Amino acid sequence: MAPLDGQVAFITGAARGQGRAHALRLARDGAAVVAVDVCAQIESVDYPLASKEDLDETVRLVQDAGGTIVAAVADVRDLDGLRAAYEEGSRRLGVPRIVVANAGIMPVGRFGNDAPAAWRDTIDVILTGTWNTLQVAVPPMIEAGEGGSIVIISSSAGLKGHTDGSGGWDAYTAAKHGVVGLMRSYAWLLARHRIRVNSVHPSGVPTPMTLNEPMSDYVNSHPAEFARLGNAMPVLWLEPEEIAAAVAWLVSDEARHVTGVTLPVDAGAAFV
């Protein structure tokens, strides 16, 4: 028997990268998956965001692994649209007892007149998007009365200060700190319902959000800032599957008494 047999997981930002890795790992552990992604470009983001074809590929990979998945295009910034996608997935698969709030963006190099849009979009996707995810998923979890587990994907940037003064980096660091506040608050709020809430804090992960030309240009032009993003251990990247393994543990019964925790999976980046 797989550790998550009979459970349903709701995952945002699931079309590629970490979100896809979470969907695959939880499906292999027995969970049915409700997957959403915006599948559209956000103007302040210079690198290409996920497409509908990317989301379809996540569906194919989960199904090829023997899993069950319902996927929908939904923007975490749009509470009503996100709720509609969640409710359709719940209707088809059951109420999710696992939630992975993963959706995020990382604009870089947005200064001057470009800074406000990058700030607004990043805060809206990461912080407001996480809050929207909680608004959609928590009430049905409470009503079901069977407990559950929520994992918010933060960052090593959510545990230490980092920015180049641009709107995107300011917002990324602020939002990744902000979701920790949400996590701790909801961990306290939901403990009485046996719903656990934790955050995971990766350092660099090789996904399209980090492996792109704007990020490469940033690294080359800001060596001091990049150095502070480095890992203490002699590894350059954490693979998406390694982050998914931490998520899988947190949502499993093995972590049934773990709540309110900021879990670094970062090769020591938080204390560099």
Task: Give the rounded distance of the alpha carbon of 22 from its chain centre.
Answer: 9
Query: How far is Cα 231 from Cα 191, in angstroms, rounded to an integer?
Result: 33
Q: Is 172 tagged catalytic? A: yes
| Adjacent-strand bridge partners of 72 | 36
Alpha helices in the chain (DSSP H): 17-28, 52-64, 79-93, 115-122, 129-144, 167-190, 213-221, 223-228, 240-251
Query: How far is Cα 17 from Cα 240, in angstroms, rounded to an integer?
Result: 7
Residue of 47, 86, 172, 186 marked catalytic:
172
- DSSP state, residue 43: T
For residue 247, give Cα distances in angstroms to 9, 105, 127, 140, 181: 11, 20, 19, 21, 19
> What is the amino acid identity at position 155?
S
Specify whether the CB–CB gap between 184 and 259 falls below 8 A: no
For residue 4, give Cα distances in angstroms to 33, 98, 106, 121, 185: 11, 10, 31, 34, 26
CB atoms under 10 Å from CB of 53, counted, come to 10
Query: How far is Cα 267 from Cα 270, in angstroms, rounded to an integer?
Result: 8
Q: Which residues are catalytic?
A: 172
